[in-house]
Structure 1
């Protein structure tokens, strides 16, 4: 109930000053806060004993491994974290390598619009000088039997041509799925002029997938070591290889590339035109325990060594077409 007119209300709680009659409302007066009783703080044990100095350590801070709150240093990795980091690193490197390899095989153009290495290699038959693919002299360091050095000298270069009469029928049939864009051949002799070797580059019309399928077929069916699938030599008239025909073939090798639309092959024989009744693939003739005349003469090394170096020249000439200028 409101106070009676003229009455002066008393204080609302102890300690508040009395209101005067001039005050119209209590809300305009400032009322001091009610004192809060103080409670003493509990005694705190000393951090170290009397006469002792504190020991400060700069060890790694601790975290917690799991819900059981077992401490572990935050600056160290657990075994599982280290393994996970290593796996991520390997996967990342694999993805990067796969991307580079995919760009090579898929013939992706570079950032500047130039063709990929696969396509660039396929154009070398008409863009590269003959001396870049078939040098006048080829150094075969360590290419002979027992790691002996070899040197081959070019004695003939065949005009670039198709493949109609360049292979025996069975080999032509085996290579047919890849097609024939152009065939380049050259014949070399060794430093003693005792042997002759024809090396060839068959530029196909196939893409990377078709070349991979052809290479798989050659490997799976051992087509590269069958005597009925030997390449034919190039016997240039008025040269040391004039008598190098089909019956003079002694050793050979055939390599189907998967990073270029090219089949690299080589076939070797004696320079004196002798016939060979038992030719031997280069891989077999190069074995240390091989005792045939072909193997003892090093004709397997002649074919394989020259084919390997011409293949390297092919790759070297294909790479600059996709390199970025420095």
Structure 2
């Protein structure tokens, strides 16, 4: 898509601002939670509506988070074109005005709440509290928490534990809503794999973040341990999901599907070591996003077969 010819506040501008490539991070945990529930209920008892609501809520919240990040980083001046190594940002580039983005944030937040409210029918009033926490931390992450090295922990919670366990919980029949060890391990596996995306993003931006006073985990541990964290995060996710697939699948062959992710993760890690810095790391970011989505698909197959 040609980013040099974008009309202000146009559909193309909003499409780019939504960062569609990041939606895989929203889809994978819900996909895994849905798969675990389907594996238990079978087609007869599988609740389709809460599964769809979970997917929609996750997608809208991800777009909302992207809008919030775009808006506040522009206000703080963190995304100045001359310094930025990552993809261009809509507000900073002038594709979307700040007042328009502010309205969009309000609208997407309300839409996420409207989509999430019916989940109370399936999961009780606890869903309301979880939904409000998701919205709250959506704002707090960009405004404050990402500056104190808490991003990785929040990914583990909000892209791993909460979406996987919540999706599983609302789909399961009420009498069988037991969050087992396998579900918890699957949620952690998902969180660790998705965190590889944040790790390589922060690894690329480590010098700019240090200058801006954004103390990410990568800024704290340094370049050498940054690459090690990337490798370890993917490996931990792989090991945890292998255990889940072995305990949930009826086939001894099924867990071997996950070895495909392991191969891709090692290959991407090698590229990361060779490139080390600059805009070239955007290639590693794209490869990591691809790996993450493939992990979700392979995990689904490994659990179901």
TM-score, normalised to structure 1's length?
Answer: 0.25
Which structure has greater strand proportion? 1
TM-score, normalised to structure 2's length?
Answer: 0.26
Which structure has greater helix proportion? 2
Q: Which has the larger radius of gyration?
A: 1
